[in-house]
């Protein structure tokens, strides 16, 4: 069964492409004994003016539910033996975007090599899937009302110190899948309201303590899938409000004494899948007075000494 929400489709040409693709895809699956249900809330603009994030998701993705069905002897009941969700990137349905809608600025898939001029009134900024190579002072500092910034899937190799100073309302920022190798001191100065930061899927190997200056309200930090090898003493000391830290899929070999000092509010710490981590010591976890979950699986740990607190649980 194919279901399409036509009310959200503004561009009839694009609608035809989507439906044609969906019908062909559905037929192919049926030939293989598969049933498909495709809700397609794709929009070239905003599907709901009240929900810009929903509209953005709708613009770039189709959620496809595929189930293999088999009949019983009576032919009345169906058994779902395979069920899964597949997310298909539908770039061809929305194409490049260069729009400003209700303060949300979309500039994706345009091949931009640098951050373009951004209006002062912007409250949400998407610059995903471009070729931006670096972030410098003066490009974003004027966006005092911006609450969301995404620079994922670019080619960013460096972020100049104080590039975000002035973005006093920013709460969420993502640098997912770029080419960052290090962070410099005062990189994030000015982001006093930031709650959530994604630095995952880069090649970061150097993070000085001073890089996190000004992030006293940060709650969640994602640094998974980078090249971190050494966690230095007081490396995260500036992040006094942090409650979740993800360091999964790095190359951590050394955790210096007090490397988590200052993280008195941390509840979840993910250190799994650092295959070269060989030992744990009690002094490594000094200061984690609220820790409730510690993930250390998929490592090469052969010596834990007197490590751990009774309240921390390993998953």
pLDDT tens track for 260-307 = 999 999 999 999 998 777 777 778 888 999 999 999 888 888 767 655
Q: Which residue has the tokens 């960013």?
A: 156
Q: Which of 4, 2, 63 is nearest to 35 (CA)?
A: 2
pLDDT for res 102: 81
pTM of the model: 0.69
pLDDT for res 305: 63
Domain boundaries, the chain: 2-92
What distance in Å separates the CA atoms of residue 249 and residue 275, rounded to the nearest whole number? 8
| 177: CB partners within 8 A, 6+ apart | 152, 153, 200, 201, 202
pLDDT for res 145: 97
What distance in Å separates the CA atoms of residue 83 and residue 220, rounded to the nearest whole number? 32
pLDDT for res 50: 31
Transcribe the chain into DSSP letters: -EEE-GGG---HHHHHHHHHHHHHHHHHHHHTTEEEEEEE---SS-S-TT-HHHHHHHHHEEEEEEEEEEE-TTS--EEEEEEEEEEEE-HHHH-SEEEEETTEEEEESS--SSPPP--TT-SEEE--SS---EE-TTSSTT-TT--EEE--SS---EE-TTTTTT-TT--EEE--S----B--TTTTTT-TT--EEE--SS---B--GGGGTT-TT--EEE--SS---EE-TTTTTT-TT--EEE--SS---EE-TTTTTT-TT--EEE-TT-TT--B--GGGGTT-TT--EEE--SS---B-TT---TT-EE-
pLDDT for res 292: 96
Q: Which residue has the tokens 């966690």?
A: 231
What distance in Å separates the CA atoms of residue 237 and residue 208, rounded to the nearest whole number? 11
Positions in the chain whose pLDDT score sits under 50 = 1-25, 29-30, 32-95, 308-315
pLDDT for res 279: 76
Q: Which residue has the tokens 């969700």?
A: 85
pLDDT for res 306: 59
pLDDT for res 17: 42
Cβ 205 vs Cβ 226: under 8 Å: yes
């Amino acid at each position: 069964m194919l279901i399409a929400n036509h009310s959200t489709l503004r561009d009839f040409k694009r609608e035809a492409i989507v439906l044609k693709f969906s019908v062909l895809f559905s037929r192919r699956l049926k030939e293989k004994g598969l049933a498909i249900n495709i809700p397609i809330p794709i929009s070239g603009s905003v599907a709901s003016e009240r929900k810009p994030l929903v509209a953005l998701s709708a613009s770039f993705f189709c959620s496809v539910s595929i189930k293999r069905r088999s009949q019983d002897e009576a032919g009345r009941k169906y058994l779902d033996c395979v069920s899964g969700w597949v997310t298909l990137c539908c770039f061809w349905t929305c194409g490049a975007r260069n729009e400003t809608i209700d303060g949300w600025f979309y500039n994706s898939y345009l091949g931009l090599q640098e951050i373009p001029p951004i209006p002062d009134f912007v409250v949400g900024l998407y610059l995903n899937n471009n070729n931006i190579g670096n972030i410098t002072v003066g490009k974003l500092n004027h966006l005092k009302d911006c609450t969301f910034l995404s620079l994922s899937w670019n080619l960013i190799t460096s972020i100049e110190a104080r590039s975000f100073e002035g973005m006093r309302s920013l709460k969420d920022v993502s640098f997912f899948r770029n080419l960052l190798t290090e962070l410099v001191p005062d990189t994030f100065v000015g982001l006093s309201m930031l709650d959530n930061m994604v630095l995952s899927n880069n090649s970061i190997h150097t993070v000085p303590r001073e890089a996190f200056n000004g992030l006293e309200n940060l709650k969640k930090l994602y640094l998974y899938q980078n090249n971190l090898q050494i966690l230095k003493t007081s490396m995260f000391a500036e992040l006094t409000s942090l409650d979740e830290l993800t360091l999964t899929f790095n190359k951590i070999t050394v955790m210096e004494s007090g490397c988590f000092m200052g993280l008195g509010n941390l509840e979840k710490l993910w250190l799994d899948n650092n295959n070269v981590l060989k030992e744990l010591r009690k002094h490594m976890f000094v200061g984690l007075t609220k820790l409730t979950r510690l993930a250390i699986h998929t490592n090469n740990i052969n010596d834990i000494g007197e490590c751990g607190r009774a309240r921390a649980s390993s998953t």
